[in-house]
């Protein structure tokens, strides 16, 4: 028997009951199992909101280089990443410091750049020297992002990088 549209409308107008809640719980569990939320979704949402609120431009990753390993079962980590946007190119090298921390050593194609490192709930800022070099020591491993600002051009929009895993 096919329900009439009037019957479906009447059912739809009624409040949710325990059976409805149980069915919705099953559907939620099914989706969570078959198509789980990506682990980094919240970081991506925060990144997108940061870009929108800053009216920033997003840098592209132009290259990633890893060191070749002779032995080991660890996955490869990029030890050098290059970002570029609007004539600014920034190469970032990750140098191990301790088992849980790294030093970030970078070079920008221009001098007088403010470099902001965003890691979890903390922000660290430094500036490049005249040759475009900068260092941020003792950075905890995990997802980080960078914001670059041209200090000599206060009206220029900041340039934000995608998040990378250190």
> Do 61 and 125 fall within a single domain?
yes
Give the whole-angstrom CA distance, residue 79 versus residue 131: 21
Report the pLDDT value the prediction gives residue 68, as an integer from 0 to 100.
41
Report the pLDDT value the prediction gives residue 148, as an integer from 0 to 100.
96
Tokens for 121, please give them. 């709930």
Total domains, the chain: 2
> Do 75 and 144 fall within a single domain?
yes
Q: State the sign of the Cα–Cα–Cα–Cα dihedral 151, 153, 154, 156.
A: negative
pTM above 0.85, yes or no: no
166 residues of the chain, pLDDT tens digit each: 788 888 888 888 889 899 989 999 999 998 888 888 888 888 877 777 666 566 567 677 776 555 444 444 455 555 889 999 888 999 999 998 888 999 999 999 998 999 999 988 889 999 999 999 999 999 999 889 999 999 999 888 899 998 888 8
> Do 68 and 22 fall within a single domain?
no
> Do 29 and 53 fall within a single domain?
no
Domain hosting 21: range is 5-34
> Do 101 and 30 fall within a single domain?
no
> Do 62 and 79 fall within a single domain?
yes
Report the pLDDT value the prediction gives residue 139, as an integer from 0 to 100.
94
What is the distance between the terminal CA atoms of the chain, rounded to a whole angstrom? 60
Give the whole-angstrom CA distance, residue 44 versus residue 112: 29
> Do 89 and 159 fall within a single domain?
yes
Report the pLDDT value the prediction gives residue 69, as an integer from 0 to 100.
41
Residues 20 and 46: beta-carbon distance below 8 Å: no
Report the pLDDT value the prediction gives residue 115, as an integer from 0 to 100.
97
> Do 72 and 99 fall within a single domain?
yes
> Do 80 and 100 fall within a single domain?
yes
Report the pLDDT value the prediction gives residue 43, as an integer from 0 to 100.
80
Neighbours of 116 (CB within 10 A): 16
Q: State the sign of the Cα–Cα–Cα–Cα dihedral 71, 73, 79, 80.
A: positive
Residue 85 pairs with which residues in a beta bridge? 88
Give the pairing type, strands 159-160 and 57-58.
parallel
């Amino acid at each position: 028997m096919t329900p009439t549209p009037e019957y479906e409308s009447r059912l739809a107008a009624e409040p949710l009951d325990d059976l409805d809640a149980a069915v919705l719980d099953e559907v939620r569990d099914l989706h969570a199992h078959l198509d789980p939320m990506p682990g980094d979704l919240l970081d991506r949402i925060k990144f997108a909101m940061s870009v929108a609120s800053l009216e920033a431009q997003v840098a592209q990753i132009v290259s990633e280089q890893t060191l070749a390993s002779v032995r080991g079962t660890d996955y490869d980590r990029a030890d050098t990443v290059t970002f570029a946007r609007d004539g600014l190119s920034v190469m970032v090298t990750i140098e191990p410091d301790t088992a849980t921390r790294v030093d970030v050593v970078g070079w920008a194609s221009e001098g007088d750049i403010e470099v902001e490192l965003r890691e979890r709930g903390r922000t660290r800022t430094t500036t490049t020297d005249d040759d475009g070099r900068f260092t941020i020591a003792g950075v905890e491993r995990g997802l980080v992002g960078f914001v670059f600002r041209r200090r000599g051009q206060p009206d220029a929009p900041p340039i934000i990088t995608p998040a990378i895993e250190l």
